[in-house]
Structure 1
Amino acid sequence: MWDNHWMLNKFASGLFTIVVLAAVFTISPSVLNLPVFALKKVNVTSVSRVDEEFKYITREQINDLIRSEVTGSFFTVDLDAISNAFKKLSWVRTVSVRRHWPSSLEVKLEEHVALARWGNSALVNIYGEVFNAMTDKRLPEFSGPEESSHEVSQRYAVFRKLLQPLHQNITHVYFSPRHAWRVHIDSGTVLELGREQVETRLGLYVSVHNHIASQFKKQVAYVDLR
């Protein structure tokens, strides 16, 4: 490393910054609030590498929050308060706030990615977490005990994959308090899967679907696979 001038300069710059910060934090608060330490910029960006812009969080929300919550200087600004304020936005899943020397803040936000509707008014994200937000997007519906959102989300992924050969989509997954499963698909069919061997039962439905359809000459409304 000592023969690499670029690395040496980088190391020296980092060390100088640490020394300056350590010295400043031992100085009185009045010095920390001098104009020279004023915050000049707050950069708010998405953590997503795919979508740099936000889908649901608006720039108006971000700017309003910055105006109301970002107070103090580079050294006295309350990072926790800013983080907590951003977390109150309905579409924010995670927040990271840090200082960027010499005069800015870096805020990174992760938006929820909605997987389905949960109950009457909430949504569930791709991690199986329930959150309260509004969307016009067409989504499947999940129903179940409050603490079952992760399990329902995982089962949905399995059920969806099993139904792919039929090119049928799930519109509703119901998980009863007695741990029984019911699946509605966009063809209009309701599949009663019960509590045990649900994946095997759904696989059986997929394997015989075409035969059943040819026998009845019309779409079957209800199939009890228990």
Structure 2
Amino acid sequence: MWDNHRALGAVATCLNWLAVLALLFAGGFYLVHSPLFPVRKINIQGQMARVTPVQLRYIAENELSGTFFTVDIDQTRAAFGKLPWVREAQVRRRWPDQLDIMVLEHKALARWGENGLIGTDGQWFDAASDQSLPVLFGPQGSEGEMAQALARFSKALEPSGLKPLRLWMNERRAWRVELDNGVVLELGRGAVDERIHRFAQNWKTTLSDLPYQVDTVDLRYPNGYAVKMPDYKAPAAK
């Protein structure tokens, strides 16, 4: 081989190309990691009512690292996502030295028992709120289903002028609703939407005119309902 000038020339050419590639790689690595390309500006946008500028500044100053090329987009997104009211953070680079971050907040729909909140998207999140919100109680994993039911029940109750205050669903998928006037609706399983609609249609025309306090309305009957009135006394037998 050492006497083969053509083979030696090919090897030399290959080695030269490898050296050029190594040089280009080293130069590119240096440029990418060079302090010549810092992130000089972080532009944060979004309609934010709960996330504070102090929280955003803390994340920007303490959680982000790297140059314009090496800053970890996924890690940056996750860092802003740690804030309690942040539903999503969208992050992208803008040449030559800027990060654009769009922050999307949760919008609270209800409380989940005594632990966290449910957003309008049906997702649970851990945050505190001083809002007056309905309270949902249900099995783990039923947050989305209960959020949808709350929206349907609220709509169905509009003719009655009443609103859901607390909503329960047990492991057997039986439903119970407490209204903002203190009346409890026993809906059971099955056709719960039809039953709550039946109540709404009868509240102003019949139930609210009863001369007794209505405590519970049991709608688990095919064509009617039973009413519990604590202060009702049956007429004495003659």
Both structures adopt the same fold (TM-score exceeding 0.5): yes
Work out the CA distance in 2 between the residues paired with 1:74 and 1:25: 18
Matched, 1:201 2:195: yes
- In the TM superposition, residue 28 of structure 1 has moved relative to its aligned partner by 3.5
Out of 100, 118, 129, the position equivalent to 1:106 is 100
**CA deviation map 1:142-188 (0-9, x unaligned):** 00001111111111111101110111111011011110000110111
Matched, 1:118 2:87: no
**Contact 1:99 1:106 (8 Å CA) reproduced:** yes
Paired position in structure 2 for 1:182: 176
Greater Rg by CA = 2
Task: Note the residue ranges of structure 2 that are not aligned, 5 or more in a row.
Answer: 1-23, 221-238
- In the TM superposition, residue 35 of structure 1 has moved relative to its aligned partner by 4.5
Paired position in structure 2 for 1:143: 137
Task: Note the residue ranges of structure 1 that are not aligned, 5 or more in a row.
Answer: 1-23, 47-51
Paired position in structure 1 for 2:85: 91
How many aligned positions are there? 196
**Contact 1:187 1:219 (8 Å CA) reproduced:** no
Out of 197, 207, 216, the position equivalent to 1:212 is 207
One-letter identity of the residue aligned with 2:45: T
Work out the CA distance in 2 between the residues paired with 1:129 and 1:206: 28
Work out the CA distance in 2 between the residues paired with 1:77 and 1:212: 64
One-letter identity of the residue aligned with 1:154: Q
Work out the CA distance in 1 between the residues paired with 2:101 and 2:30: 26
- In the TM superposition, residue 34 of structure 1 has moved relative to its aligned partner by 3.8
**Contact 2:116 2:127 (8 Å CA) reproduced:** yes
- In the TM superposition, residue 132 of structure 1 has moved relative to its aligned partner by 0.8
Work out the CA distance in 1 between the residues paired with 2:31 and 2:184: 69
Work out the CA distance in 2 between the residues paired with 1:62 and 1:158: 36
Instruction: Please identify which structure carries the higher helix content.
Output: 1
One-letter identity of the residue aligned with 1:144: G
- Structure 1 residues 86 and 33 mapped into 2: Cα distance closer, same or farther (>3 Å)? same
- In the TM superposition, residue 81 of structure 1 has moved relative to its aligned partner by 1.6
**Contact 2:45 2:101 (8 Å CA) reproduced:** yes
Structure 1 counterpart SS, 2:182: coil
- In the TM superposition, residue 31 of structure 1 has moved relative to its aligned partner by 2.4
Paired position in structure 1 for 2:45: 45
| TM-score, structure 1 normalization | 0.82
Work out the CA distance in 2 between the residues paired with 1:38 and 1:212: 70
One-letter identity of the residue aligned with 2:43: N
Structure 1 counterpart SS, 2:96: coil
Matched, 1:75 2:99: no
Work out the CA distance in 2 between the residues paired with 1:35 and 1:130: 41
Paired position in structure 1 for 2:27: 27
- Structure 1 residues 25 and 202 mapped into 2: Cα distance closer, same or farther (>3 Å)? farther
One-letter identity of the residue aligned with 1:165: P
Structure 1 counterpart SS, 2:133: coil
Out of 152, 176, 194, the position equivalent to 1:158 is 152
**Contact 2:159 2:201 (8 Å CA) reproduced:** no
- In the TM superposition, residue 30 of structure 1 has moved relative to its aligned partner by 2.8
Structure 2 counterpart SS, 1:71: coil
- In the TM superposition, residue 219 of structure 1 has moved relative to its aligned partner by 4.0
- In the TM superposition, residue 36 of structure 1 has moved relative to its aligned partner by 3.7
**Contact 2:158 2:200 (8 Å CA) reproduced:** no
